Amino acid sequence: MSRDSRFDILFEPVKIGPVTARNRFYQVPHCSGMGYRYPNAEAHLRGMKAEGGWAVVSTQEAEIHPTSDLTPANEARLWDDGDLPALSAVTERIHAHGSLAAIQLVHNGLHVANRFSRMIPLAPSHAVSDSLDPVQARAMDKADITDMRRWYRNAALRAKKAGFDVVYLYAGHDMSVLQHFLSRRHNDRSDEYGGSFENRLRLFREILDDVREAIGDTCALAVRLAVDELMGPSGITCEGEGKDIISALGELPDLWDVNLSDWSNDSQTARFSEEGYQEPYIRFVKSVTTKPVVGVGRYTSPDSMVRVVKQGILDFIGAARPSIADPFLPKKIEEGRIDDIRECIGCNICTSGDNTNVPMRCTQNPTVGEEWRKGWHPETIARSEAPEPALIIGGGPAGLEAARALAQRGVDVMLAEGGGEWGGRVARECRLPGLATWGRVRDWRIGQLSTRVNAELYLHSPLSAADILQYGIPHVAIATGASWRTDGVGRTHRMALDFLSEGILVSPDAILSEGAEAVPSDGPVVVFDDDCFYMGSVLAELLARRGRTVTFVTPESQVSPWSRNTLEQARIQKRLIGLCVEIVTAMALAGRTKDQLELSCVYSGRSRPVDCATLVPVTARLPDETLWLELKAREAEWADAGIKTITRLGDCLAPGLIAAAVYSGHQYARTYQEQVDKDRVPFMREDIARLYGLRSG
């Protein structure tokens, strides 16, 4: 197929100073959880984006000096020449596919605690580090400013030596000393670097000049700027100093990369924003500069991409999350394969990797982070040399991905779902408030399977152990999911609570299947959340929007604490407060009377009652392993029936994230005929000593 002519504008080359991007697709700087600690994984991740057609591929932020030490985060580093081999590996992988390599230089100022270097953080003014570490940054004096300018210059020289084509100055997300100097909130200096707007802009202007001189006329100079902090007059705004900064410096860099600050505003989840949500804040930029502009907005629709270019909002379609979900998004548009695009669902599981200091993962793309260590490619998978048929039982995320990838391998696959719709938990959860895009996990896989003549899909097809033995299909995967517990067992209560055995309980599964109508219409509802991610809060939101009186009880100190890793926690808690949900923290379940639950403080044991007609416990889940246990009981019959393997996948094996279920299904498809050596590490590990020339061979 050839591309639709209406998308031609997306494939026009665009000059960025002395270099030219081959199209308008631009992977903006984003963290990967790999960085300097996992350099081969980092290089292969970025190289995959270039192979997929992104004209510019950026690293994450690169620390320029040990006084900007983000340990334990796995970012890039340019502390000295010893960091060049890792970064040169990145540029080589990007250049191999004809793309430009970009690096984002940063000194993080008061954003760091320097846990590894143990050096004192630097800031425009005396300030507490914005981590929880008991660390303060000291106010920079003139000698420090001279040092800072030299560190940026030296880092730029190293970046050029490593082969980068675009060198960024980072002034975004409230994570950069350059933004801190610009900010009235952080900069209360009284010298020529503080006070007036022009004074607060001075260091930025000086470092722009320094870096321009360092990189010369062969590299492009880019600025990443937060044009609005969503703080009103307390912060930078797009109508105020965000616009003033670009107006003052408009022609100095070769490219402006503009976004919102902080990271939670820039990378909002689909639960709280729509595609293109940054446009109202960034649409002014091209009116005050002639230089090309890149911005983001979780764009997955080619029509939206064309619109923002034609409307003069952006020159480049910037992407982080959509390029993770589908590294080959540009090529698919170019080749007219729009239906093959694996659209980002905006869940931010990718950001959780960086926030937990491990290589990223993705709900839609199970190969991300595995490009090097497992050799997984997002678009290609080796055909089985001697394919044997497979039966997948369960049409949820694990089963769908297993069937899709097996069919891609040339395997004859039968997918049987006992219910009347595809998607399993995804089908139910995407009907919850704000989670509609999660249905893309199901829709993309069903769409891919529908084109495969070697895939047979059956709804309303519950299978028994006897059925499976009778079919005699060599390889069987059970992906029957899991169900929520109603006995209170979870992180806090490790044993069942006897007082929950009576009739006030409504399972989350009932609400997922029947909606808010599953909860009786009279009396207050208590949602007890011991799961700590999204489910408890979104069920409370659903019920509150239906006019119910809801109390949200959690043993934790805040609502949905794990959602800090997906950058949602503050928005979740704010939304529940706005819906008049009463929030009770640090409380466990202790007992009940007819109309009340007894709660106990997790610290003191002190008790308090809460009115409760219905309790929705969001605690732990149990795998639906009935079929598995029945088949295990008849294991002696497998061989005679022609069955070689029976494997559990996804939540049926161990309940977890949807991303984990998709990964489980994908891994099964790649290995379904292999004998697993449980004593062998199942992936390659980084040999840092060899990379840095400390060991030969």
pLDDT at 536 over 70: yes
Q: From CA 567, how far away is CA 355, in angstroms rounded?
A: 9
- Structure confidence at residue 697 (pLDDT): 53
Give per-residue pLDDT as tens, 261-292.
999 999 999 999 999 999 999 999 999 999 99
pLDDT at 695 over 80: no
Give per-residue pLDDT as tens, 632-652.
999 999 999 999 999 999 999
Q: Is 31 a catalytic residue?
A: yes
- Structure confidence at residue 696 (pLDDT): 58
* Mean pLDDT estimate for the chain: 96
Q: From CA 434, how far away is CA 437, in angstroms rounded?
A: 8
* Catalytic residue selected from 210, 228, 262, 266: 266
pLDDT at 689 over 80: no
* Catalytic residue selected from 31, 219, 347, 532: 31
pLDDT at 607 over 60: yes
Give per-residue pLDDT as tens, 345-375.
999 999 999 999 999 999 999 999 999 999 9
Q: Is 38 a catalytic residue?
A: no
Task: Please name which of 269, 280, 282, 273 lies closest in space to residue 315, comparing C-alpha atoms.
Answer: 282
Q: Is 412 a catalytic residue?
A: no
Residue 473 burial (CB count, 10 A): 19
Asked whether 4 and 334 are in contact (CB, 8 A), the reply is no
* Catalytic residue selected from 26, 168, 170, 281: 170
Q: From CA 75, how far away is CA 107, in angstroms rounded?
A: 12
- Structure confidence at residue 687 (pLDDT): 84
CA distances from 622 to 42, 122, 618, 625 (A): 36, 49, 12, 9
* Catalytic residue selected from 30, 111, 173, 186: 173
How long a stretch of residues is the chain? 697
Asked whether 132 and 119 are in contact (CB, 8 A), the reply is no
Residue 682 burial (CB count, 10 A): 11
- Structure confidence at residue 677 (pLDDT): 86
Q: Which of 211-225, 569-583, 670-684 is predicted with the least confidence, judged by mean pLDDT?
A: 670-684
